[in-house]
Structure 1
């Protein structure tokens, strides 16, 4: 008899109304290809905790901002950790998976990040700017984001929000990795149209920048998206390191690039499951 194929629970919110993105289309495409290698079922993020015991691994993909179901997500994490459930991406991520504190920590450590603080007494650490970006530390998808002048910041930085200088950047660019391997890059020529993306030819310096954050996160397995902006002085600055459920914008790729990504993801997930069978901690 042929060996049983791994069983994968694929978590996605196909109906989530993401601005400028089509979660459902991307996940229908990916699952159609992954089914060639795995026995696979889709479920809504609110159902994952109840269903995951019947599968060899849970793959969290376009499940929407956790902010909308924070309590249920925490219950899912706790149950997965308690039962030793294999979750891809692994739940050890230190970036968006754990909130936005990492932006403050990386900024303080001197990484090339948009300068970020969360306390009034630290506002002096930010460079002078005409306007500042204020957003909830537990926010996502630009929910609750405000752009304010300096004289409106008093009392806002109470530890629950991030404060950053507003940067008139030339463009945003995203670097996509599977495990530690760079896959492709996309940029936004028009800063006002975040999700109108086109292929970007990353330079060696660009990849050195992006890889530093992937190395810092140390996931081992999984998909990560390094979002950056090109500052007026030409430097790249980190905007976000998405390590929970990054949207992949696969519709912006050529057929060949999409095929290459699917192959990389299939190989990564296969290694992740094989490491589990062999008793090796994966990520």
Structure 2
């Protein structure tokens, strides 16, 4: 039986999400197939050699321990530690620069800039959203008028227009294979999620970003927003430790995902 070091922070507080409940649920199922050790992300460097593989799950934003996380990534690569997710993603694991890159490549993303001289690329919205390039969980996010935006220092930040979208929808992939989708019918309650039946067009949209990211293994969440013309624009590609919102799934779908997750870990 393989030994899994399951890295999580049971006490991380996130609006609308109970990380500990999700991880307790997952590890309760994994224990029948693996020897499970649970470690905190701030102490994981001391235990890299104790398991056959490391599962990096609900650890919260790494913005609060960036130097430690950087050392973790370096040692994992140096020691050839098997991690799930693999740490070769090109999206949120590296910050928000990819949104700028994808916009330049004409992918369907929310228009994004990091220089005031490019402000006209965002149209003429009444409100702008300013985000940290290395942010997560809405840390450092501000809603500003054009007059306010013109006065700020954009170093380490990016700007997007505030869009009047219909709802947000998330597509969940395991080892690049689509698993399920959830959406927030009330856009004011991002984490009040319900099951969503993805259309072929939806999956063409989400697949574009999964294929672009080309991560070797792991769980990726593609977040999009539905505009009033029914099109989708990318909000983010979460490729480090996406919250899975398993509690929003029906029991059969939840168990299907757990079985697929166990199978993926058995193949490590």
Partner secondary structure for residue 85 of structure 1 = coil
SS at match of 1:211: helix
Which residues of 2 match residues 118-197 of structure 1 at below 5 A?
A: 118-156=114-152, 158-197=154-193
CA RMSD of aligned residues (A): 1.0
Distance in 2, Cα, partners of 1:9 & 1:265: 15
Residue 76 of structure 2: SS of its match in structure 1? helix
Contact 1:120 1:155 in 2 (8 A): no
Dislocated runs of 4+, deviation >2 Å: 155-159
User: Residue 201 of structure 2 is aligned with which of 205, 208, 216?
Assistant: 205
Contiguous gaps of at least 5 residues in structure 2: none
The DSSP-based 3-state class of the residue aligned with 1:216 is: helix
What are the superposed Cα offsets for residues 116-142 of structure 1, whole Å, 9 maximum, x if unpaired?
011122222222211110011111111
- Report deviation, 1:165: 0.4
Which residue number corresponds to residue 63 of structure 2? Answer: 67
Q: For 1:232 and 1:127, how far apart are their aligned partners in 2?
A: 17
Query: Scaled by the length of structure 2, what TM-score is found?
Result: 0.97
Equivalences for residues 230-245 of structure 1 within 5 A: 230-245=226-241
2 CA distance for matches of 1:21 and 1:229?
20
Counterpart contact for 2:113–2:119, Cα < 8 Å = yes
Shift in Å at residue 233 of structure 1? 2.0
How many residues matched? 268
Give secondary structure in 2 for the equivalent of 1:53.
coil
Q: Deviations over 1:59-89 (max 9, x none)?
A: 0000010011111111111111111111111
Does the residue aligned with 2:257 lie in a helix, a strand or coil?
helix
* Matched residue, 2:25: 29
CA, structure 1 residues 117+216, in 2 after alignment: closer, same or farther (shift >3 Å)? same
User: Which structure 1 residue ranges, 5 or more long, are not aligned?
Assistant: 274-283
